[in-house]
Structure 1
Amino acid sequence: MNVALLVDFGSTFTKVSAVDLDPPRLLARAQAPTTYATGLEQGLERALEALREALGGRLPAFRHRLACSSAGGGLRMVAVGLVPGLTAEAARRAALGAGARVLATFSGVLRPADLDRLAELEPDIILLAGGTDGGNRTALLDFARALARCPTGATVVVAGNREASPDAAAILEAAGKAVRVVENVLPRLDTLQVEPAREAIRRVFMERIVVARGWKEVESRLGSILMPTPAAALRGAELLAAGAGPEEGLGDVLVVDIGGATTDVHSVADGLPTDGKTVLRGLPPPRSQRTVEGDLGLRHGAPSLAEAAGFIVPDGAPGPWQDRVRRRAADPAFVPGPRETEERLADQELARAAVRLAVERHAGRREALATPHGRRWIQRGKDLRGIRHVIGTGGIFRHAPDPAAILAAALDPQDEGPVLRPRQARLWVDGEYLLSHAGLLAAVDPAAALKLLKAGLVPVGQA
């Protein structure tokens, strides 16, 4: 047998799968709580013991051992730059698949209140931009002087005006900051160049993993971490869309991953205007795009999700939703039993709200414009209306009474609103939770990874 062991160190659970590559098939999967605080090897050992039991009491000889990790929730990142919209977009794209989530962006002038706020956010990494190449160089130096006074231990990735970057790095290093200098994320006003910054963020992410408690023991069993979990999940979505060798993909896809702390949305589609009546404003959207909504989780994020959905109001009167939210936030491992019908339906309603809100934030928007030639449209962001496959992944889809109802919240069948969500699509559930594992396996056998992922998709409806 040509067997691979796939491991995902999540912030809540460590998930393991054993897959045979010849022919591609899932042999077994298991999970155990991640023991990030006390030592990663403890959670891994428990997950492998559960996998051993699922395989009949014996683990096979693994030819491949591949692992990804979200490193206790991923890197916390803020961005500082000159132009608000471009700074935010550069940060979002740089964080894509690099194991980071953007907490905030600061632009213009860093005032004392901004520095206090930045320090309160406790970022792991700061993306420092400012000035096009050959353009403004003073802004980057002003930002560097301000950050040098900020009481933060974050690594600063300097990705601004190339003439000013060495001086900005010197200012920060003199203040005791860890600094990485990369190419400008905005070399020209109409061009974003984020891959060098993204690679620097990935390196910081991997260095953080290596110092985790128990990592040396894990490394002796698995080897090095191949990639951050967000990169593995995005790679799985790209594989599902594009195909691999003789194995065909599905075409453009939208993937919604609902977790306890966040809801992530991945889209693989061009998302450009498709008619002569719509004009794109701003930078063209990336074909592969990921957004992370840190306030839309089903457990840790239940209070903010319920508030965003309108189920509760701040300081409102006690009621059923307050009790449900409190229970979920206090016990992230809570899963309603088969007879707890009201709790299962409550989870489903929370999940529907998470999907609707997360996809609305991920998708582009349009606004009508009256012209002498009739109504025209201005598009900002990504048009998802042409996507024909929506996939849900996460534990809620395995436990909810009606997973199709959850995924249908991603759609806008009437196409009447300003948000450019999918109109009609086939709805699928990642039944074996293999998205990130398939992204891992793609490093050694993309066609086998795609076959496994497609085999695990369960159709739940057409909308």
Structure 2
Amino acid sequence: MKVDYLVAEIGSTTTLVTALSFTNGCEIVGQGKAFTTVLDGDVTIGLKNAIKDIENAIGESIQYKKMLATSSAAGGLKITVHGLVEDMTVKAAREAALGAGGIIKMVTAGKLRKSDIKKIKKISPNLIMIAGGTDYGERDTALYNSEIIKNENLNIPIVYCGNTANVEEVKGIFEGDELYIIDNVYPRVDEINVEPARKIIQEVFERNIVKAPGMEQIRKMVDGAIMTTPGAVMEATKLLYENIGDLVVIDVGGATTDVHSVTEGSKEILDMLVIPEPKAKRTVEGDLGVYINSVNLISNLSKDEKQGLTDVQIQNNIKPIPDSEEEKKWSSALCKKAVELAIKRHIGVIKRSYGSGKNFLAYGKDLSKVKYIIGTGGALTRLSKGKEFLNMIKYIGSDLTMHPKEDAIVLLDKFYIMALAGVLSREDSELASVLLRASLE
């Protein structure tokens, strides 16, 4: 059988491959899964096994025009971020890195110290981001940090996204190195500009993913775009925003739980915000995964939620792909807890103010104008009660809130293709939109 695309999502535990045909509208020919084989030294083993799973299901071999992929199996793109003020330029650079699917390993504010350099060397990041200063504002910190990093000869790609006035000097400092100069992530007070940085981070990921252990053979099969899985989900979220409006997407995975939102929030809360938030925001909870980090989730279950079982007894029922009813029940319980904790960390808070001239101050992301709450990832889409768990994040009271309100509509990514649609949008955004609408019914 001939298909237009094979799209692989190479996860930390499972590789999912989807065969797409657009000859007669939008058709998912089949989906196959297999265990990810990065630790075996060759990710293509798992890819071939997943394709074979599709072929076994449809009863014939598959020929494809192009193969795309998203991946989180190689540890992602390790990034360190170095800016001027924690709540301003550092926050903006961090938001850019997270939105592109990067894994933030270190964040510093102000001038780097010797101990900071030791930590950077130990982390051995794939990318270093240097920010600092609004445009034509403070210059010295970013230049100082650039000199310090250059003197260490780390041979690591550098993204400079700070004060525009420093550009020529930064080019001189890093002459001969892999340097990316982009627009300032915090050009003016109360303005965050993260999209240019996100695009560059994605480019660096594509260059580096083929060098990661176990991923060296990936270009033998994948001839199209390769994105970070969370970066691809963010692209799909932004594409959906253009189609249906303000939304939040919750992705519960085996290793992490990611929350992506695209919304300006309400004007009322916007006027209270102490620190600006990006329109498109991603938070990643590296301690909330229903398999690899199940111990953390089990420890957060209440006595009633544990139903009289010990942590060890519950852990014995946690499998990468649950099969028995008991295994599904406990994976579902961890999924519920992951949603509860992850959304709590993503959404901001409103605090009463004393002496500021305002009655209340707001901190963090406002989801009160969200029209759609969307669930993706294996846990929410393949286990039962996914919609029930997502409905629980709504606020049904009448007080001022940053939670989605009662009229927000809950949808599930039925075909589990959010990441797929994100990477497909790089090739054809219209086809990706059609696919998303079909999956969300």
- Settle same-fold status: TM greater than 0.5: yes
- Structure 2 counterpart of 1:54, which letter? A
* Residue of structure 2 equivalent to 1:187: 187
Distance 2:234 2:276 in 1: 19
Unpaired runs of 5+ residues, structure 2, are none
Distance 2:386 2:190 in 1: 42
Residue-by-residue CA offset, 1:372-416 (whole Å, 9 max, x unaligned):
99x844333332122232111121124534223322332222365
Judged with a 3 Å threshold, the aligned counterparts in structure 2 of structure 1 residues 20 and 269 are, in CA distance, closer, same or farther, namely same
- 1:35 pairs, out of 37, 42, 45, with 37
CA displacement at 1:86 relative to structure 2: 1.2
- Structure 2 counterpart of 1:15, which letter? L
The within-5 A match list for 1:331-342 is 333-338=320-325, 340=326
The within-5 A match list for 1:46-445 is 46-59=49-62, 61-70=63-72, 72-147=74-149, 154-168=156-170, 179-212=179-212, 218-243=218-243, 249=244, 251-273=245-267, 275=268, 279-282=271-274, 284-307=276-299, 309=300, 320-325=310-315, 328=318, 333-338=320-325, 340=326, 343-369=327-353, 376-414=359-397, 419-445=402-428
Q: How many residue pairs were aligned?
A: 434
Aligned identity (percent) is 31
CA displacement at 1:46 relative to structure 2: 0.8
Residue-by-residue CA offset, 1:199-218 (whole Å, 9 max, x unaligned):
33222211112224676754
CA displacement at 1:85 relative to structure 2: 0.8
Whether the 8 Å CA contact 1:295–1:301 is kept in 2: the answer is yes
- Structure 2 counterpart of 1:402, which letter? K
Distance 1:119 1:220 in 2: 32
Distance 1:221 1:407 in 2: 37
Residue-by-residue CA offset, 1:306-339 (whole Å, 9 max, x unaligned):
44x3659xxxxx97125534875xx6x252512x
Unpaired runs of 5+ residues, structure 1, are 244-248, 313-317, 459-463
Distance 1:205 1:361 in 2: 26
CA displacement at 1:150 relative to structure 2: 6.5
Distance 1:456 1:450 in 2: 10
TM-score by length of 2: 0.85
Judged with a 3 Å threshold, the aligned counterparts in structure 2 of structure 1 residues 387 and 170 are, in CA distance, closer, same or farther, namely same
Distance 2:81 2:45 in 1: 35
SS at match of 2:29: strand
Whether the 8 Å CA contact 1:20–1:27 is kept in 2: the answer is yes
Residue-by-residue CA offset, 1:338-359 (whole Å, 9 max, x unaligned):
2x2xx43332232222112211
Distance 1:393 1:120 in 2: 34
SS at match of 2:271: strand
Whether the 8 Å CA contact 1:123–1:154 is kept in 2: the answer is yes
* Residue of structure 2 equivalent to 1:315: none
Residue-by-residue CA offset, 1:56-85 (whole Å, 9 max, x unaligned):
2221x4344333333513112221111111
TM-score by length of 1: 0.81
Distance 1:270 1:26 in 2: 34
| Worse-superposed segment, 393-402 or 35-44 | 393-402
